[in-house]
Amino acid sequence: MTVCDLCGEVKQCWPKEIEGREYDICSECWNPLTRKLKGKGRARKERETVFLPPITLAPEPKETTPLPGGPPKIWSRVGKPQ
């Protein structure tokens, strides 16, 4: 036997969770409350499978090597020599 959180009387109450809080509510208070709230609130959505697009990575640029008999790659630097 516990005290009902709605009517304040000592009755056999069951714990009910409403919006993340737990209340002790007797059946005499709970039944009218469910009838009053029936049809209100948000509709529950069924879980859906969501497919994400595949991950596409940009191809890395390949270093080109000079072909045999071709001109060599020349490296240079702009600025004063140190």
Give the pLDDT of residue 14.
Answer: 85
Write down the H helix ranges in 4-69.
27-37
pLDDT(66) > 70 = no
Read off the pLDDT of each residue in 7-35 and give the average, rounded to a whole number: 86
Percent of the chain with pLDDT over 70: 89
β-bridge partners, 3: 10
> What SS3 state is found at 11?
strand
